[in-house]
Amino acid sequence: MSEQKTGIPLIGDSFPKMQVQTTYGVYNLPEDATENGKYWVVLFSHPADFTPVCTTEFHAFAKRNEKFQELNTRLIGLSIDQVFSHIKWGEWIKDNLDTEIPFPIIADHGPVAEKLGMVHPGQGASTVRAVFIIDPKGIIRIILYYPKEIGRNMDEILRCIKALQTADNNNVAIPANWPNNELFGDHVIVPPAKDVNTAKERLANAGKDYECLDWWLCHKKL
């Protein structure tokens, strides 16, 4: 009999199955969000509706929604607020900031946030700013946590999705600050050799399909 995993989900885990109430109706996660394997998903929590930093974040996410769609990615928000509060806040953002919220927001009473590790000690009873990036198979690929007083950088979240998709599609790794890495620019990293013969071949073949600083540090342009 397999041992049942307990605790909050981690990178590499399947996103836990759950039914949630959203501003777009009832969702069964992760299936409804990924549409059974079609889409990547960014599920993010915010401390509360009608709060200043959260409002700037929702405005920023909404402004980049088309960029997320271009990456075959859907957005879902979450906070421990009732659904009518989410709807009213979305109306306020549209009326006052001329921006419509084009993605669902989960109305949680606490259990979902607790299950996903979004409520942290010393941060009160509301959620911190968590981000779960989930691939089309429902696997959690990235988890980010920000404190309540710091708003997120949505362009970094877009970069994370681009990097994951690039790594998956090309069997490569992604350097720091890609695609503007200080050493290699927009090049990607060739996975290190795992045996002696491959290590020797790496240096012998350097300059053809890739460049190397050493056998364990090779890079190439896609």
Indicate which residues carry an active-site annotation: 54
Q: Which residues of 183-206 are buried (b: 16+ CB within 10 A; e: fewer)?
A: ebeebbbbeebeeeeeeeebeeeb
Estimate to the nearest angstrom the gap between the alpha carbon of 100 and the chain centroid.
21
- Going by their DSSP bridges, the two strands 73-79 and 105-107 should be labelled as parallel
CA dist 82 and 106 (Å) reads: 9
Backbone φ, ψ for residue 182 (5° rounding)? -65, -25
